[in-house]
Amino acid sequence: MKVLLILIFLLISIILTLNSEALIINEIMADTIADESLNEWIELYNDDSAEINVSGWIIGDDNDNDTIEGGLYNEEGTIIPAFGYAIITDEATRVYNNFNVSNNAVRLYIDDSSIGGYGLSNSGETIYLYNNNLVDKRTYNKTSEDLSWAYVNGSLHKSDPTPGFSNNGSIILEYGCDYQSELILPKTVFNNSSEFYFKVRASKAEGTSTNFTLRADIEDLNGKIIKEYKPFTNKSITRQRTSSEYTPNLDEGKSYIIESNITVWCDDTDSSNDVDSRIITIKGKPLQEKSSIDITKVYDLGNDKEAKFGQIIRIRLNAYKGNTNKESIAAWIEDNKGSKLSKQSKTNLELKYTNYSLTLPIQIKPNCNEKYDNDDYTIKVSGLDSEDQEEIEIADLTDSICEVNIVKEKKSSLKNFEFELMDFSNNIEVGKEFNTRVMLDNNNNKDMNIKLWSYAYRGSKSYSGEREDNMKEFVLERNSMEIVELSNMVEKADPGNYKLKVLINKDNQKTSNEITKDIVVNNKIKNNPDSSNNEIKKTITEENIVEENKNTILNYGIVYESSTEKAKSLIPVFLIALSVLLNIVLICRR
């Protein structure tokens, strides 16, 4: 008899586990008229004939997860009845004051001040529901104010909010639109500051009339904002509107980046023309045509101001690129006969009429065979039709270094190719280009064919365009060192943790070398101009439950089944259980 009771208990447990899959994410309210941080909510629906207890379940997005709690004493009240609804809110919610919520809906809360990592995104995101494994997920697109995303007939639709009620009849038919921003400039190179002026225009490409906000700013080439403009804020537009003329007094002899951006209150069908960006130059005094290079400092020398054989030193350069199409700068050390005592380090400078300040490493050759004397040598830098040089004293190499090299030569050859990330920005702004510098060191006696590229990503998705968009292909000469700069831009992404990957392929090998770094993406442009008071929560760590459950999501099969399909899947379970019970009864009668 005890065996029979245990089997019945196990059968009931299996049925309850399968029932949990009947719970679906039924409606998402992200873009509210009132304070979003207090009025966002998610509706769950129990599409089954048995009640479900969601105590301790997890609700979250790609940035963070939250534990579901009940609204009664001791966090109870988490049972959703058959074919019933539940509303999930934050702990300080005003939802029940500002929405018509069904009195029959179960009130659930999260153990946090906002749902997910930064509240529900107005740009769209994926919401996950977990009970150890993934139970359901919904991905919604860009929101419209005071409209929810409701699950109807197998997909999400924009609808009037119906918290705790059926979604049938709530769908809103909304037509898309496409508006573009445009900078109006007479030219991009100006003789002096008083000659420079511009306007900003917003115009309709297609679709319905709407309200819009138009912004513009001017930055220097390092990304520092010099001027900001707000031509239009929440203004109506039918076809086209143009700002008044702006005449900023900019410093002469410099280049700047001017950018405009439009945000609209309809469903924007094409975001690629929302931003217009130009590079302008204010000449002032005639720009210097001739390029120049100046070695300003040598780093990594000892107290005696000497370098050692086998050492890597760094040199600081000020370079000005004038009117030349040449881009490469090379640095090395040589003796008084012109023989090179180091590898050649290279980098490229692309923009004309631009000042650069940069640091280059130089690898001095070991002197284990005592080929070179302790003496004065010359650091040489050449490129852009210019050059500079600096004297440096090199002396001594400890015996231990030579002994290490000898041992390495006996066991295996020295590494013939090395690479290193010189510098990169770990804080990235959406819509702003960022640069990464990579040092490549060819220790081989033959040239190498190099492919180098980078991208920003999270999970399996690249957020900086196609993964190989910025690929550079070139020949890295034998026994030389080169520094290459890669540019990326995250055009659209929610704030949070991402990764930067740099890949290096040499001589078309099947496997590429890679460098991966953590980065944080900050959204400079708000989803809604009226949401500037919304606080962005602190960046989460990679050890949170979202990361832990990603493999579960990838490997999970059916996310949601209808009641009919679940009934079919339960038939084998019932038959097996019935067979076991009959056998037990027969055995007991004997």
| 3-state secondary structure at position 553 | helix
* Beta-strand runs (E) in 510-584: 513-522
> Rounded to an integer, what is the distance from CA 244 to the centroid of its chain?
36
Within this chain, do residues 316 and 433 fall inside the same structural domain, yes or no? yes
pTM of this prediction? 0.38
Judge contact between 297 and 273, C-beta under 8 A. Answer: no
Residue 502 lies in a domain: yes
Residue 500 lies in a domain: yes
Within this chain, do residues 309 and 431 fall inside the same structural domain, yes or no? yes
Judge contact between 140 and 149, C-beta under 8 A. Answer: yes
Within this chain, do residues 249 and 378 fall inside the same structural domain, yes or no? no
Judge contact between 321 and 356, C-beta under 8 A. Answer: yes
Residue where a domain stops, chosen among 255, 282, 309 = 282
Q: What's 144's domain CATH number?
A: 2.60.40.1260
Within this chain, do residues 197 and 116 fall inside the same structural domain, yes or no? no
Residue 371 lies in a domain: yes
Judge contact between 452 and 470, C-beta under 8 A. Answer: no
Residue 582 lies in a domain: no
Within this chain, do residues 385 and 419 fall inside the same structural domain, yes or no? yes
- Distance (Å, whole) CA 46 – CA 566: 14
| 3-state secondary structure at position 586 | helix
Residue 10 lies in a domain: yes
Within this chain, do residues 319 and 455 fall inside the same structural domain, yes or no? yes
| 3-state secondary structure at position 398 | coil
Pairing of strands 386-394, 306-307: parallel
What's residue 525's pLDDT?
Answer: 43
What's residue 7's pLDDT?
Answer: 52
Residue where a domain stops, chosen among 264, 282, 300 = 282
Phi-psi map region of 479: left, alpha, beta (phi>0 left; psi -120 to 50 alpha) = left
| 3-state secondary structure at position 271 | helix
CA-wise closest residue to 158 among 166, 170, 168, 169? 170
Q: Rounded to 5 degrees, what are φ and ψ at 216? A: -150, 150
- 565 Cβ neighbours under 8 A, 6+ residues apart: none
Within this chain, do residues 420 and 494 fall inside the same structural domain, yes or no? yes
> Rounded to an integer, what is the distance from CA 76 to the centroid of its chain?
38
> Rounded to an integer, what is the distance from CA 79 to the centroid of its chain?
38
What's residue 186's pLDDT?
Answer: 94
CA-wise closest residue to 506 among 448, 441, 444, 421? 448
Judge contact between 385 and 349, C-beta under 8 A. Answer: no
- DSSP letter string, 332-378: EEE-TTS-B-BPEEEEE---SSEEEEEEEEEEBPP-TT--S-SEEEE
Within this chain, do residues 494 and 547 fall inside the same structural domain, yes or no? no
Residue 459 DSSP symbol: T
Q: Rounded to 5 degrees, what are φ and ψ at 388? A: -150, 160
- Distance (Å, whole) CA 276 – CA 274: 7
Within this chain, do residues 110 and 244 fall inside the same structural domain, yes or no? no
Q: What's 448's domain CATH number?
A: 2.60.40.3880
Report pLDDT digits (tens) over 121-178: 998 999 999 998 999 999 998 888 888 999 988 888 888 899 999 988 777 655 568 8
What is the rounded radius of gyration, in angstroms, for the C-alpha atoms of the chain?
Answer: 32
The number of beta carbons lying within 10 Å of the beta carbon of residue 514 is 12
CA-wise closest residue to 87 among 162, 8, 173, 198? 162
In a structure prediction context, what are the per-residue pLDDT tens digits for the chain, which is 590 residues long?
555 555 554 454 444 444 556 899 999 999 888 777 789 999 999 999 999 999 999 999 988 999 999 877 667 889 999 999 999 998 888 898 888 899 999 999 998 888 988 889 998 999 999 998 999 999 998 888 888 999 988 888 888 899 999 988 777 655 568 889 999 999 999 988 889 999 999 988 877 777 889 999 999 988 889 999 999 998 887 778 999 999 999 998 889 999 999 998 777 888 889 999 999 999 887 778 899 999 999 998 888 888 888 888 999 999 999 999 998 899 999 988 888 888 888 888 988 888 888 888 998 888 777 788 888 999 999 999 999 999 999 887 655 556 544 433 333 334 678 888 877 788 888 888 888 988 888 888 888 899 999 999 988 889 988 888 999 998 888 878 888 889 999 988 888 899 999 999 989 888 888 899 999 998 754 344 333 333 333 332 333 323 333 332 222 232 333 343 444 445 555 556 666 666 665 666 55
> Rounded to an integer, what is the distance from CA 397 to the centroid of its chain?
46
Residue 579 lies in a domain: no
Considering its fold, how many domains does the chain have in total? 3
CA-angle at 297, arms to 294 and 298, nearest 5°: 120
Instruction: Give burial (CB, 10 Å; 0-12/13-18/19+) of 33.
Output: exposed
CA-angle at 483, arms to 477 and 485, nearest 5°: 125
Report pLDDT digits (tens) over 220-231: 988 889 999 999
Residue 82 lies in a domain: yes
Which structural domain range is residue 87 located in?
Answer: 2-173+539-567
Within this chain, do residues 138 and 242 fall inside the same structural domain, yes or no? no
What percentage of the chain's residues is helix, strand, coil (to nearest 5)? 15, 45, 40
| 3-state secondary structure at position 413 | coil
| 3-state secondary structure at position 47 | coil
Within this chain, do residues 20 and 54 fall inside the same structural domain, yes or no? yes
Tokens, residue 370 = 């005592």
Element (H, E) at 107: strand 106-110
Instruction: Give burial (CB, 10 Å; 0-12/13-18/19+) of 426.
Output: exposed
Q: What b/e sequence results for 290-302 when a residue is b if at least 16 CB atoms lie within 10 Å of its CB, and e otherwise?
A: ebbbebeebeebe
Within this chain, do residues 167 and 267 fall inside the same structural domain, yes or no? no
- Distance (Å, whole) CA 242 – CA 414: 64
Judge contact between 179 and 262, C-beta under 8 A. Answer: yes
Residue 572 lies in a domain: no
Q: What's 232's domain CATH number?
A: 2.60.40.10
